[in-house]
Amino acid sequence: MGITITAIQLIGGVDHRHIAALRWVCDDTGSTGSSSTAAVVDWLADDGNIAWVGRERLATVEIVDDVGGPHLRANRVGQPSRDLLDLPRLPLYSDLRPVDSGSAVILGLAGAGIRDDDMRERRIDPDAASLP
């Protein structure tokens, strides 16, 4: 299954590791949605799922696991690229900001009482009616 990423939200910086949420279009159905980066990372980890960047689809999205934890990065012809960072920046989750969760900082909806587990429930699920 495939999606095309059409916009991103950055929090706390302007690098790939600061992408907090993404807007996407399902390639099969045309349905649209927004998901946290963690949800897209989980979805991409499943075999058979692929994410493209932008309407031109010149780059794919890959998972990069480094010291700060997994994040997403565009890959064009086998090389890291800025394609994700060049997408429009939209306030996908207007209340999304870093929240202290003991030993790690996670992204959560401020003031809404939503935990990281709840954010993962927004994951892209091919069996869900509103998501690909």
Q: What is the pLDDT of residues 52-78, one digit of tens each?
A: 998 888 899 999 998 888 999 999 999
Task: Please give the angle made by the CA atoms of 95, 64 and 45, to the nearest 5 degrees.
Answer: 85
Query: What is the tens place of the pLDDT at every residue in 20-37?
Result: 999 999 999 999 988 989
What pTM was estimated for this model as a whole?
0.70
pLDDT category, 113, cuts 50, 70, 90?
Answer: very low
Q: Which residues contact 48 (CB under 8 A, 6 or more apart)?
A: 1
- The pLDDT of residue 79: 94
Kindly list the domain boundaries of the chain, sorted by start residue.
Answer: 2-120
| H or E stretch covering 120 | helix 116-120
Q: Which residues contact 29 (CB under 8 A, 6 or more apart)?
A: 132
- The pLDDT of residue 91: 72
